[in-house]
Amino acid sequence: MHPTKKIRQTDSVAFLGPKGTFSYECATQVFGDAEYVPCQSIAKVLETVQTNKADYGIVPFENSTFGTVLQTLDFFVNTKHANDSDQPHGFVILDQHYLTVHHNLLGQDTELDRIERVYSHPEALGQCSKWLDKHLPKANRVPVGSTAQAAEKAKQDRTAAGISSIACADIFGLHVIEKDIENLANNTTRFFVIGKKVRQPTKNDGTLVMFTLNHDQPGSLCDALAIMKDHGINLTKIDSRPSGKGLWHYMFFMQFDGHMNDDKVKLAMKSFKPKVLDFMIMGSYKKQLQ
């Protein structure tokens, strides 16, 4: 199923709110008319799906300029604690969607000189660091929960600006002080669509798994990765985060080509799993050109 196709009219979709965030823009592109459930954090989006308060969720996973979204990775790490199953409890990744992200400086006043504070989501502040360094070097960068909340803040304070989607200028009645202030053109965020059930394989899928390693065994990372090569599976990315289980103990995130229900992938995972610890398949998604 193509991710931009609507799934059901009455689906409920949790997203990082309020309306006007990039997560909202992504959610509407994927689901069209649906019941939207705004959440205050990425963790809350995932919990809302886990506790059946929404059918689906949309979470940012990585941005082409700023890298992996740490809050999402850390929530995934936490799902593994005290879960012996090799799939996360209550949700699975079932698709992905790419959104081209343009950041804009919004405010009540259009004079840059008067701006003492710039509000935005930490990721957006990072994605616009070069423009801010050059044009607003003295302004305080204040992280808030979402890009839409940044616009709300700017609405309350004449000496502040927010970095937000262009839609927020209308929603909150703000001026667009400067358009497209992101560090790199083609700034794109990759979102995962989260739900209860994995979708059918296509011929062009990707899978995300996570695992830890036994640090007492030298060579264990090489040994595990060699299994992917032995099974002819193309590795696309590896990340690591603190596992929360001890000093310098990491949770590895591995992305590769193929669907978790493909025979080839199942066979590879059967050999891979005994080589690692805390193994978990987070789900599969259709690969797309963006």
Interface contacts to its own copies, rule CB under 8 A: 63-68, 70, 122, 126, 140-143, 184, 186, 188, 190, 218-219, 221-223, 225-226, 228-229, 232-242, 244, 247-248, 250, 252, 257, 290
Cβ at position 215, least distance to its own copies in Å? 9
Nearer to its own copies, 43 or 166 (CB): 43
Distance CA 121, CA 113 (A): 22
Place of tokens 């044009």: 135
Place of tokens 């949309």: 58
Helix, strand, or coil here: 54? coil
Cβ at position 99, least distance to its own copies in Å? 12
Nearer to its own copies, 32 or 242 (CB): 242
Cβ at position 3, least distance to its own copies in Å? 17
DSSP codes joined into one string, 85-150? SSS-SS-EEEEEEEEE---EEEES---GGG--EEEE-HHHHHHTHHHHHHH-TTSEEEE-S-HHHH
Nearer to its own copies, 173 or 232 (CB): 232
Nearer to its own copies, 5 or 218 (CB): 218
8 Å CB contact between 30 and 190: no
Nearer to its own copies, 63 or 164 (CB): 63
Distance CA 123, CA 73 (A): 14
Distance CA 16, CA 18 (A): 7
Residue 138: CA count within 13 A, CB half-sphere? 6
Nearer to its own copies, 83 or 183 (CB): 183
Cβ at position 54, least distance to its own copies in Å? 23
Cβ at position 7, least distance to its own copies in Å? 26
Cβ at position 98, least distance to its own copies in Å? 9
